[in-house]
Amino acid sequence: MDRDPSLLDLISFFIQCCGCKGAVTAEMCQSKEDKDVRSKMVEELDEASGLQYKRFLAFPWILTVTWPMDADSAEYPLVQSGPSGRWFHSEFCDFVSVLVAQCQHSVLFDSYLMNSLISLLTELSNSYVRAFRHTCTLAAVKLLSSLLSVALSLSVGIENSQKLYNVQRTKTVRQKTQQLERMQKKISELQEKRAEVESMMDVIFKGVFLKRYRDMLPEIRSVCMEELGLWMKLYSSTFLNDSYLKYMGWMLHDKVPDVRLKCVLALQGLFGDPVLLPKLDLFTSRFKNRLISMVLDKDNEVAVQTMKLLVLISRATDDVLTSEDYKQLLQVVYASHRPLAATAGELLYSRILSAVAPTSENQGERNEEDEQRQQKFVRLKALLQFYQQSELHKHVVYLVDSLWDCGGSLLKDWPTLTTALLQNSSGFTLAEQAVIVEILVASVRQAAEGPALVGRSGAKKIMNSREKKIQAEDCLKLTEHLFSVFPKLLSKFSCSGDTVASLMRIPQYFHPDSQEAKNTQLVSSLMTEMAAVLDLHSSPAVLEAAARTYLSLCGDGAAWAATAGASRDSLVQRWVDQLTELMGGSLRGGCFSAEEDETRQIVTTLKKLRAFHNCHDLSRWSVFDLLSPLLTEDCNLGGAPPEVLEEVLQCMSFAMLWSLSTSSETLTCREKAMAQRLQLRLFCERSYRCLSHCNHSVKNQAFFGVCDVLLAHSYHLQVWDPTCLGPLLYTPSPKLQRALLAFVCMHVFVVPDSDSQSRISESSEVERLEELHRRRNQLAAYCKLIVYGVLEMSTAAELYTYYMKHYSDFGDIIKETIYRTRQTDKIESTRTLVLCLQQLFVQLKREQESGGRAHSGVQTFTCIKELARRFALTFGDLVKFRECLVMIHRNGVEFVFQEFRQTPDNATPPYLSYLTILSEFSNKLLKPDKKTVLSYLQKHTAEHIIDLREECWQPLIYYRASLLAVAEMEDAVSYVSSDRRLYLHSRSPVSKQKLEGYKSPSQVRPTEQVAKVNKPSISHSPQVTVGDMDPSSVPPELHGKSFNIASTVLGNNSDSDDGSVDVEL
């Protein structure tokens, strides 16, 4: 059989796999050394024919490949997406492997097939066409991998033959002579074949890999690094040395994450084999710092795999990573990406928590259980030492989450943790026991809820059946042990507020189906200790944890629910009785007159009621009616202290929220609904008085209470079921609405003076951020009232005036309010924007007419113009908001001209310069709408005598020019809002030359008409300060220009369909 056609078919197959749709021609070559042949090996482009040519030598053939010019931009098979692309990649690599495997006994060594194939792949891998380069590089490196397998099999054959040869040498002389000669000949043949295969491998490595491992295409670089790691692992005798490892180290700095990932995965395979470790010493010392820095790689997968590689290195060798390296790496347990933090937890558990207990003299007297407990104490000590040295004392839950997968045996050993807390002989200090409590609470939460933590990503969101079973078993185990131990822990640490606050959260995770839930004695002991803790502490952390724990224990379905509910009711009843007694002696004649100790007791009791009222419905104790007398007519004169008022307002707001939330069950008749509305009105009136209190905390609490209650009332009105009685309609009084708005303007949009700025700069950054967070919450609470219809949408106009001045702090909240109100009613929302601009303009106009000193709250004309531009940017879909944009222009024209009566002393409208602000919305109009608005403008200007030669009418020309700029859908004045001086000839729709005289449109020759408005060109001149200009004036670029345009153009000529302007030249 002739092998030449078969070789040509194979060559054609590889070229077709590149996605080439061209033609391949071949001609015979007599000699490789012919200089004429070498000079013809070119790759060029024929622009005339639109074809590309590549001629190269694949001895004994000279191949010419012709393909279209756009082949490089086509999607070749190797990069196709979907299953077809993956299938082609797998089958193409298998084809190369099978080809070598089928030829490894004879054809591989005939110097015909492999030489031609290697020449083909080498030449095409050097092509500037991406499809050829990528496909043939993949084929070449896979070919080298297949040849490497052949070399390995030959090495195994040589080794086996050598062993057999050594055995035969020990036999008698008569038998061994001929056999030894045959064996020696076979060994020589195998060695020659291996040398030839290694020569082919070397040719491919130098001809393809060395040229392509830094290719501009990242896919090619990834393929090269992946295969290089395979070569080093499988054929370490040749490839695993520093001459090849340097390429792996260099590519750790690649800018593409996938290339770095392939390098790290390849190194994992090398460091995971103990036999290969001695050859990696120089590489490790050279690139260790780079590997440590890659733990913080921007790609999460690269960072995780690098950390796994460093874990392998730390387990394999003890002297590579120093103590400073470990200190840097172990801090990664607090990383926000959970897989990375969990991998760092493996390093922490293997290097620090695998500590060995020190030997003691009485070691022989201990039993095995004591030894295990002591070993766990030592590991726990090591964990505490790491936590204290890390200086991140508020991240225990993240540390536990990082160690959960690898160190669960220690963290789930709740008997050991509780023993370390209860036994005085355990050797732990009070500070260490406080950390152990945090670890205990975090491990209980992790076992009951899973690894979902705020601020940590990458965790599994859905658990499988096995994980759910393990979680249920862990929850039962912790309940069985901690239910009996928990009262002892509360009793021991009852004097420490922070520790008790953490311990009080543990019962929230108890399993309701455990056997201990049926033990009434244990349940009673638990409730007694919790009640005793509440008698000792009144800190917000302890009260909140206790309230949530009682809420969990009183839930339906648990055996302890009845006992827990009775304990809670007795506590609340005791607090209510105590508060009633204290108030009876403190309120005399409508005034609050309590001693300091009594005031302290009232505040403490109110804090407890407030914490429980936040989680529990205490309506049966009538907390609202009990506390309402504390809010007297005048809280500033003879009223309760601020700390009492703050707690009272919060308790009453919770009472109102619970009343609204349970309306469907409690409002059984209209009388009860009216009583609820009366209660709501009373709360709003009392809160209104507190908004003017001298204490800022009281005002703040009154504001939030009113906003929350009004918002809840609006929500329950919307979700009210018509089949049952619901809350009655209530509208806040006008004075309350004004007070809320005034509160926001005074306390949210605060402009600090120089003294306060210096005080802020001296205070901590944390306090400044907390203050900003509080102000943002206040603004968001008020904006919700507008968004959900509690307040009129027009009240937002006052907020929008602060949009530019406070954009960095509150711009996102105001912008979201604009979008939300627009979804509710886009017309009314647009009217609010217009109202905001008109209010600012009128304020500026009055301020300038008064001639007094400029007020700090009045914004300049430039600021108002910029605000209009920002408002215009919020209209994204011009077709959707077409009606709104037209309404803005119609409203603006009416605002300027509607009430204007022209007199000799009053020739121009007082608000004429508002048209300059209105022009910021012109570029948002569609072309037909611009003509409509222009006609509307002409309708209002037709009845006035307008002399455009006077500068006072320039805003009208300015606005009309923006409406006429329809030729190329460009706004002729779009850049004025940036306060840039533009050349007049590029801005005005008329000639820049001075116009003299007047001709009617009928007298103007066609050649003297300017038919279209030219596209404006921008002149980047220095910025012009126009902040203090008179709003009745014109933009600075229009000063000093005199226009003489026919007034009939403005008054009557409305038939200009193309936007042309008739002017006299």
Instruction: Write the pLDDT tens digit of every residue in 185-202.
Output: 889 999 999 999 999 999
Contact present, 961 and 1058 (Cβ < 8 Å): no
Q: Which residue has the higher pLDDT, 393 or 211?
A: 211
Q: pLDDT confidence of 1053, banded at 50, 70, 90?
A: very low
Which sign, positive or negative, has the C-alpha torsion 456, 461, 464, 465? positive
Work out the burial of residue 762: count CB atoms within 10 Å of its CB; fewer than 13 is exposed, 13-18 middle, 19 or more buried: exposed
Closest alpha carbon to 629 in 639, 619, 621: 639
Residue 23's φ and ψ, nearest 5 degrees, are -120, 150
The pTM of the full predicted model, rounded to 2 decimals, is 0.78
Residue 311's φ and ψ, nearest 5 degrees, are -65, -40
Bridge partners for 457 per DSSP: 337
Bridge partners for 61 per DSSP: 28, 58
- State the Cα–Cα distance between residues 251 and 262, nearest whole angstrom: 9
Task: Transcribe 535-557 into DSSP letters.
Answer: HH---HHHHHHHHHHHHHHTSTT
Give the pair of three-digit tokens for residue 407: 């160190």
Q: pLDDT confidence of 154, banded at 50, 70, 90?
A: very high
Instruction: Identify the H or E element spanning 287.
Output: helix 281-293
Q: Which residue has the higher pLDDT, 2 or 808?
A: 808
Bridge partners for 58 per DSSP: 61
Contact present, 261 and 175 (Cβ < 8 Å): no
Q: For the residues 605-617, what does the mean pLDDT come to?
A: 93
pLDDT(726) > 90: no
Bridge partners for 64 per DSSP: 25, 55
In percent, the amount of the chain with pLDDT more than 70 equals 80
Q: Which residue has the higher pLDDT, 608 or 43?
A: 608
- The distance from CA 941 to its chain's CA centroid, rounded to whole angstroms, is 53
Q: What is the pLDDT of residue 833?
A: 94
In this structure, of 284-298, 664-678, 925-939, the range with the lowest mean pLDDT score is 664-678
Identity of the residue numbered 645 = L
Average pLDDT, the chain: 81
Q: What is the pLDDT of residue 1022?
A: 36
Instruction: Write the pLDDT tens digit of every residue in 862-880.
Output: 999 999 999 999 998 889 9
Bridge partners for 44 per DSSP: 53
DSSP conformational letter for 389: H
**Helix pair 540-553, 520-536: axis angle to 10 deg:** 160
SS3 letters across 688-703: HHHCCCCCHHHHHHHH
Instruction: Write the pLDDT tens digit of every residue in 416-438.
Output: 999 999 988 777 888 899 999 99
pLDDT(541) > 70: yes
The CA distances from residue 18 to 48, 94, 225, 823, in Å, are 25, 16, 21, 53
Q: For the residues 771-795, what does the mean pLDDT come to?
A: 94
CB atoms within 10 A of CB 897: 20
The CA distances from residue 255 to 222, 225, 290, 754, 786, in Å, are 12, 14, 14, 47, 49
- State the Cα–Cα distance between residues 19 and 460, nearest whole angstrom: 41
In the block, tokens 């608005």 appear at 933
Closest alpha carbon to 436 in 423, 450, 451, 420: 420
Closest alpha carbon to 1038 in 959, 929, 942, 966: 959
Q: For the residues 163-169, what does the mean pLDDT come to?
A: 82
Instruction: Write the pLDDT tens digit of every residue in 337-356.
Output: 999 999 999 999 988 776 66
Bridge partners for 43 per DSSP: 54
Closest alpha carbon to 805 in 863, 761, 870: 863
CA angle 202, 208, 211 (to 5 degrees): 115
CB atoms within 10 A of CB 691: 17
Give the pair of three-digit tokens for residue 479: 């309940």
In the block, tokens 């703040």 appear at 700
Q: For the residues 112-120, what does the mean pLDDT come to?
A: 87
Closest alpha carbon to 985 in 944, 1041, 943: 1041
Instruction: Write the pLDDT tens digit of every residue in 685-700.
Output: 999 999 988 889 999 9
Identity of the residue numbered 840 = L
Coil, strand, or helix at residue 1018? coil
Task: Transcribe 157-225 into DSSP letters.
Answer: HHHHHHHHHHHHTTS-HHHHHHHHHHHHHHHHHHHHHHHHHHHHHHHHIIIIIHHHTT-SSHHHHHHHH
In the block, tokens 């209980």 appear at 444
- State the Cα–Cα distance between residues 624 and 840, nearest whole angstrom: 43
Contact present, 631 and 587 (Cβ < 8 Å): no
Give the pair of three-digit tokens for residue 250: 């260099």
Contact present, 648 and 695 (Cβ < 8 Å): no
Q: pLDDT confidence of 1046, banded at 50, 70, 90?
A: very low
Q: For the residues 957-980, what does the mean pLDDT come to?
A: 55
Contact present, 697 and 641 (Cβ < 8 Å): no
In this structure, of 276-290, 336-350, 460-474, 831-845, the range with the lowest mean pLDDT score is 460-474
Q: What is the pLDDT of residue 26?
A: 65
Instruction: Write the pLDDT tens digit of every residue in 968-979.
Output: 344 443 333 333
Instruction: Write the pLDDT tens digit of every residue in 53-83.
Output: 677 666 666 777 776 655 455 578 888 888 9
Q: Which residue has the higher pLDDT, 45 or 338?
A: 338
In this structure, of 537-541, 553-557, 585-589, 957-961, the range with the lowest mean pLDDT score is 585-589
DSSP conformational letter for 913: T
- State the Cα–Cα distance between residues 907 and 734, nearest whole angstrom: 40
Q: For the residues 595-617, what does the mean pLDDT come to?
A: 92
Q: What is the pLDDT of residue 969?
A: 41
User: What spatial distance separates the first Cα and last Cα of the chain, rounded to whole Å?
Assistant: 92
- State the Cα–Cα distance between residues 518 and 513, nearest whole angstrom: 9
SS3 letters across 306-356: HHHHHHHHHHHCCCCCCHHHHHHHHHHHHCCEHHHHHHHHHHHHHHCCCCC
Contact present, 696 and 689 (Cβ < 8 Å): no
Asked if omega into 60 is within 30° of 0 (cis), the reply is yes
Contact present, 286 and 275 (Cβ < 8 Å): no
Contact present, 116 and 61 (Cβ < 8 Å): yes
Q: Considering just the CA atoms, what is the radius of gyration of the chain in Å?
A: 42
Instruction: Give residues with Cβ within 8 angstroms of 34, minimum separation 6.
Output: none
CA angle 782, 786, 791 (to 5 degrees): 100
The CA distances from residue 196 to 191, 192, 193, 625, in Å, are 9, 6, 5, 100
Contact present, 928 and 934 (Cβ < 8 Å): no
Instruction: Write the pLDDT tens digit of every residue in 1003-1027.
Output: 333 333 323 333 333 333 333 333 3
Identity of the residue numbered 970 = E
**Dmax over Cα atoms in the chain, in whole Å?**
141
Instruction: Give residues with Cβ within 8 angstroms of 275, minimum separation 6.
Output: 236
